Chain A
Amino acid sequence: MKILKNKFNILLSFIFILFAQNIYAVESKDPIKLTLHDWTGQLITTNIMAEVLKEAGYNVELVPADYIAQFAGLQTGDLHVAMEMWETTGRDAIDEYTADGRVVNVGTTGMDAIEEWWYPSYMKEKCPGLPNWEALNDCAEAFSTPETSPKGRYLGGPVTWGGYDDERVEALGLDWEVIHAGTDGALFGELESAYQRKAPIMLWVYAPHWAPSKYDGEFVEFPPYTTECYTDPSWGINKNAAYDCGKPRGPIWKVASSMLKDKWPGAYDAVEAFTLDSNEMGNLVAAVDLDGNTVEAVVAEWMANNKDRWGNWIK
């Protein structure tokens, strides 16, 4: 009796497997988990990817996660895809976690990250020499606060972002003081505050982000970045110090758990094929953060208008 029951079970599961494979063309119907972070651009990229994967028949789940903390999940296979890992802020994490092959770099999203000193346009009246960096010393006073006076005050990103601003100020001989904000929120909080009062501010801004579209302003133009500039002191204006140039502009990467390639090779290819360019992204972000549309609506519209493009990713 017992044996019979067992056989029946096996038979049932065989039927089920056959049946399942006939319906679905994809490798596995287990949900692929994509991570959501707390900035709009990333929400849009991830939602587009999720919609595309759904069109291909995959089962998709979106999970809120922290930008760096998610790597622990990617490594163990609890999470599968992270759509935006910025060269400029995520390099260390990428290197550390891809080392043993449990997390893989799936290539660039096609978007390039810009990170640089930025000021609102109304400051140009007080400092006509901008955006050329050589004007920075002449207007240091105009950008100063009581705590830094007579030096200019530059609000840098959190220390964890790196960026070598202290070294840059030193190497270029700038009369500026670097203050580190603790988070992105604090950074743009100060910008909002200064912008409301039309008060002087010089800070770290990055793109794609809503800030450059919401506030009118420009990036400072430093001597352009090269690898030698960061590694070789004799390069550039200051012969005795490295970092006498602007910041590198790096791609935004996609990373995935190695499980993705093993379990859902088709989905892996789709993620690999995904590309957007920075301008396109800027517009999508502005449509959400400035015009007040929902992420879902903006993504749906993009999907409707770009059928050919994403159709190619899942071919």
Chain B
Amino acid sequence: MRKTKISNKIIFISLTFLTLLLYWYGKEIANYFDSKWLVKYPKHYSFPFAIYTTTFVKWLINEANFLLFTFNDLTRFFAWIIEQPYKIVLAIFSKGILRGQGQDAIQIIEPLSWISVVGIFFTLALYTKDKFLIILVVLSIVYLAVFDQWQSSMITLSSIIIAVPIGVILGILFGILSYKSKILEKIITPILDLMQTVPVFAYLVPILVMFGFGPVSALIATIIYAMPPMVRTTLLALNNIDPQLKESGLMSGCTERQLMWKVLIPVSKPTLLIGVNQVIMLSLNMVIIASMIGAGGLGYDVLASLRRLDIGGGIESGIAIVVIAIALDRLSQSFANLPTLSKKTQLTFYNKYKKIIFLLSYIISIYILGYFFTFFKFFPKELMINTSLFWEELVKYININYFDNLESFKITLLTFFMLPIKKFFLGIPWPWFIFVLTIIGWYFGKFKLALLCLVMSIFIVTTGLWEKAMITLYLCGSSVIIASIIGIPLGVWAGLNDRANKILTAFIDTLQTLPSFVYLIPVVMLFRVGDFTAMIAVILYALAPAVRYTAHGVRNINSQIIEAALISGCSQRQLLFKIKLPLALPEILLGINQTIMLALSMLVITALVGTRDLGQEVYIGLTKADIGRGLVAGLCVAFISIIADRIIKAGSNKLKNKYGIK
């Protein structure tokens, strides 16, 4: 045992030494042996994955035929099915019931007025019996009306109302399938990994071609992006159910189906609701991208204001997305925490549906009142607030007075932090990089992980995108380092102090749901286009999990251990550094892992401020409608994040075993 540890150390030190050596002298060595391919993968050896992919997708869309119907018929049929409920919801919240098409349409019944929607959310919040929540939810909806975001918000809300249930139902179904069959689980898991890690931009064009232009395609993209956590939580919940419960179900004569739907699913409801919550949040993250392919709504407003450089307008629409997200998130969370109703007391029909009856009569009376007073139909224009000017002046003030300070700060960080990292990644010869990566994989996860690292990195090399992949690593790496430096202390603070926790949670929730497009332009104005700006945007977005997981890790340490430490005379400082932090380390690692995932998913968006990484490649694929190019670059991003994910998870598990935490 001792021996292997020492030899591990020797291997580790010599690997680091060799890597540094190659980083400094890699080019010279390559030149000396006259083998430039060591530093730069030769172009003519790269495999044209992109072209094959494009050809395949084109064949699928234009020619694939299943005797009775074509592939295109099939996808259009799906689109049609999804479109029907969407049309109904859109009619209720936004368009009203119409007769005719286009501008000929006549509104027969009007959509719900803003007051009615406030009423609906109020009633939903009433079920939770949480006063603070009721106020929060009502204020959120009123915000939408006061800041003139109503029309767009309702379109966005409608698409969320459709995307979330479809994502949840499909998620539960796939979860059950993979619970029942180990083979299916083996097939579904890697697909889920890809769904979560391939940037959405990469598959936007194929989706458009398959499902047609418009809100339906946007819904499908949203569902693809938001569904995976639901599958995972379903599987997790079912696997964690006490086997005794299952047996007692079987003994009392349940059929397979009854066992699943009457016993297992109801029991795992609290866990499932966490999945639902994730689906809601991820769907809202997609709002902007969905608007690029015809979803309209708040996302479109954000993009359009940025195009006009109307920073304030972008912020107002962006905050509207945050507000919807937070309202739905808090609602679904407190529904998850609600004690399951015991059905002992038989309620009369009236008592059981009291709230719904009230709500319906409320909505009807608002309709009637709407005929007489427009206030009940539309929020009065005079009372609306517009903060555009304020934001514009604020950015202008900072720009004029502090630009030079910010500039010198930026230059310092660039020269002493970012550029060395960039040089490091671009300097190491690729064969050595792959070799070291495989060794790391071996150390943490033996043969399986080593093979994964090897195959995936070889794929990246052969696509000819190695250099861009290295720039991706550099950008992502420097952002994650800074995000951890900021996020982990904040997380520790939040873990120790309840009040700090509340404030920080609200803060990071906002950061995570506020579309990055909103702050991209002000950041460009203050820091110019380039890697630094990209890094700031990535840090802002990816900070959240570092804070969240650290806080969770620090808070959930076994209280007996802490007591034992206090009894044996630990000072507060010792308690934190010798007990709490080491024990929270596995959890912190998972947080960093999530930070890396988010940073990678954000990279595509940083292509908008002029980076030259894989994100740019995906973006070029999108803007040139080059299906293969986008998908292949997207796969490279996915592979990077899968490798990082597996290595860190294996590391975290190793630590957990070391400290004996389950």
For chain A, give the interface size range: 35 or more
Q: Are A93 and B625 in contact (CB under 8 A)?
A: yes
A78 to B288, CA, bound (A): 21
Q: Tell me which residues across on chain A come within 8 A of B611, comparing CB atoms.
A: 182
Which of A73, A190, A199 is within 8 Å of B529, CB to CB? A190
Are B104 and A63 within 8 A (Cβ)? no
- Given A76-B212, A197-B400, A192 and B625 touching (CB < 8 A)? no
Q: Does B300 contact A (CB under 8 A)?
A: yes
Q: A59-B104, A73-B208, A190-B528 known; A196 and B400 CB under 8 Å?
A: yes
**Residues of B contacting A: mostly:** helix
Cβ-based interface call for B303 (8 A): yes
A121 proximity list for chain B (CB < 8 A): none
Chain B's closest residue to A157 (CB) is B610
The A6-63 residues at the B interface (CB cut-off 8 A) are 29-32, 38-40, 54, 59-61, 63
User: Is B103's beta carbon under 8 Å from chain A?
Assistant: yes
Residues of chain B lying within 8 A (CB to CB) of residue A70: 213
Given A93-B625, A193-B525, A197-B399, do A186 and B294 touch, yes or no (CB 8 Å)?
Answer: no
- Given A38-B307, A54-B103: A186 and B400 within 8 A (CB)? no
Q: Which residues in A have their C-beta under 8 angstroms from that of B272? A: none
In the assembled complex, the Cα of A32 lies from the Cα of B101 at a distance in Å of 10
* B517 CB → nearest A CB, Å: 8
Is B205 in contact with chain A by the CB < 8 A criterion?
Answer: yes
A159 within 8 A of B: yes
Instruction: Kindly state whether residue A185 has any CB partner on chain B within 8 Å.
Output: yes
Q: Are A68 and B529 in contact (CB under 8 A)?
A: no
The CB with the most chain A CB atoms within 10 A, among B208, B300, B400, is that of B208
CB distance from A95 to the nearest CB of B (A): 11
Q: How far is the CA of A32 from the CA of B624 in the complex (A)?
A: 25
Tally chain B residues at the interface, Cβ within 8 Å: 52
- With both chains docked as a complex, state the minimum distance between the C-beta of B77 and any C-beta of chain A, in angstroms: 14
A39 touches B101 (CB 8 A): no
Report yes or no: B608 in contact with A185, Cβ–Cβ below 8 A.
yes
Expressed in whole angstroms, the minimum distance between the Cβ of B57 and any Cβ of chain A is 11
Closest-CB distance, B616 to chain A (whole angstroms)? 7
State whether B400 touches A69 (Cβ < 8 A): no
**Would you call A65 and B610 a contact (CB within 8 A)?**
no
A39-B307, A73-B208, A185-B520 known; A197 vs B101 contact (CB < 8 Å): no
* CB atoms of A186 and B213 under 8 A apart: no
Residue B7 is within 8 A (CB to CB) of chain A in the complex? no
Chain A residues contacting B304 (CB-CB under 8 Å) are 38
Out of A40, A71, A76, name the residue touching B625 (CB < 8 Å): A71
Residues of B contacting A279 with CB < 8 Å? none
Chain A residue numbers with a CB within 8 Å of B623 are: 67-68, 158, 160
Assess whether B198 is interfacial by the CB under 8 Å rule: no
Complex CA distance for A84 and B234, rounded to whole angstroms = 48
- CB-based contact A63/B530 at 8 Å: no
Q: How far is the CA of A29 from the CA of B105 in the complex (A)?
A: 11
Query: When the two chains form their complex, are residues A182 and B620 in contact, meaning their CB atoms are under 8 A apart?
Result: no
Interface assignment of A188: CB less than 8 Å from any CB of chain B? yes
Binding site for A on B (CB under 8 A): 101-104, 204-205, 208-209, 212-214, 291-294, 296, 300, 303-304, 306-309, 396, 399-400, 403, 407, 411, 414, 520-522, 524-526, 528-530, 606-611, 616, 619-620, 622-625
A-B contact pairs, 24 of them (CB 8 A): A29-B101, A59-B102, A59-B104, A60-B103, A65-B213, A65-B293, A66-B293, A68-B623, A69-B208, A70-B213, A71-B625, A73-B214, A73-B294, A155-B529, A179-B530, A179-B610, A181-B529, A184-B307, A185-B521, A188-B309, A189-B524, A193-B524, A199-B403, A210-B308
The 8 closest A-B pairs by CB, nearest first: A73-B213, A31-B102, A193-B525, A59-B102, A182-B608, A182-B610, A72-B208, A189-B524
